[in-house]
Amino acid sequence: MNDVKVERITAPNGSVFTGAGTNTYLVGENDISIVDPGPNIKSHLDKIIKKVGKNASRILVTHTHRDHSPGAKYLAEKLNIPTFGKLVEIDDSHQDLSFKPDHVLNHGDLISTDEYSLEAVYTPGHASNHFCFFIDVNALMLTGDHIMNGSTVVIAHPDGSMKQYLQSLELLKSYDFDKIGPGHGDYLSNPIDVISWIINHRLQREAKVLEKLNNEEFINELDLVKLVYDDVDSKLHPIALWSLKAHLVKLKEEKLVANDKAEDSWLKLI
C-alpha cells in the first residue's frame, strides 16, 4: 500500500496557546478522515468543506479543548458524516460542550479503508480524553496537543495529569513512525529524539521543583512558580502555574512533597 495523501489546513486562531493556529488534517482522497476540525470559525470550516467535497467519511477528534473540536458539529451537519472521539468524565471548564461523539473511541480502535488504516492511540495527559492517530502506511503519528511544535504542552490539573502524560509519551515509543503531525506547528521528524527530549525536559523541570522547595517551610505556588520557571518570561507564569501544579500533584502521589490546601503551598518531604 502506497502513502496516503495527508493535507494540513491551519485555522486562523493563532495565540500564545495555539501558535500559528490549530492544524486540521485531511487523511485520504476518496475516503477522507477529517482529524481535528478545529475552532468554530466559518471561513476555516468552509475551506475544509471545499477541500473534501463529497469524499469525507468521518471526523476524528484528538480531544475536546475549544481549539480542537468545536468545528465538528458544523462539519458533521453539513457533510452528514459521523464523529469519533471521547468525552472527559468531569468538565473542568476548558471543554467544548458542543461535541457529542457518535462513536466513542477506545485505545487500539482501527479505522480501515481501501486507502489506509488509522489507529486510535489513547494518550491521556494533556487531557484525560486525548488520542493520537497513527497512519501506518505513512509512518505518521498525528499527535494533537500531546506533542506540539514550537512550545511545550500545558498540563492543566485536574483533567490533565503529568504522570499520565509521561506514560503516554513512553507509549508512543512503541510505535514505528518517522514523522509527527502536531496539533500546532509544522511536521516534526526524528520522533524518538523529540519524545526523549520532552520526557527529559519534564523530568528536569520536576527536579527543579524539588530543588526549589524548602525542606523547612511551605512555599506558596505563586512564589514557587517564579523560582521553578525563572528561565521563562514572567508574563507566561500564569500559564506555567498550571504545569507546576501538575508536577506537584505527581510528586505528592509519589510521597515526595506535601501540601497545605488552604494556602496553596507546598513542602518537600525529607
Mean pLDDT across 146-168: 95
Question: Hey, how many other C-beta atoms are within 10 angstroms of the C-beta on 270?
Answer: 5
Mean pLDDT across 233-248: 95
The residue ranges of DSSP E strands in the chain, in sequence order, are 6-10, 23-27, 32-35, 56-60, 83-85, 103-104, 110-112, 117-122, 131-135, 140-144, 179-182, 188-189, 219-220, 257-260, 265-268
**Angle of the 221-228 helix axis to the 191-212 helix axis, nearest 10:** 130
Mean pLDDT across 47-67: 97
Q: How far is CA 112 from CA 10, 48, 58, 116, 129, in A?
A: 26, 22, 12, 6, 22
pTM tops 0.85, yes or no: yes
Mean pLDDT across the chain, nearest whole number?
95
What are the chain's domains?
Answer: 6-190 (3.60.15.10), 213-268 (1.10.10.10)
Q: What pLDDT score was predicted for residue 17?
A: 86
Strands 219-220 and 257-260: unpaired
Given a cut of 90, whether residue 268 has pLDDT beyond it is: yes
pLDDT-derived band of residue 217, with 50, 70 and 90 as boundaries? confident
Spatial separation of the C-alpha atoms in residues 120 and 129, rounded to whole Å: 12
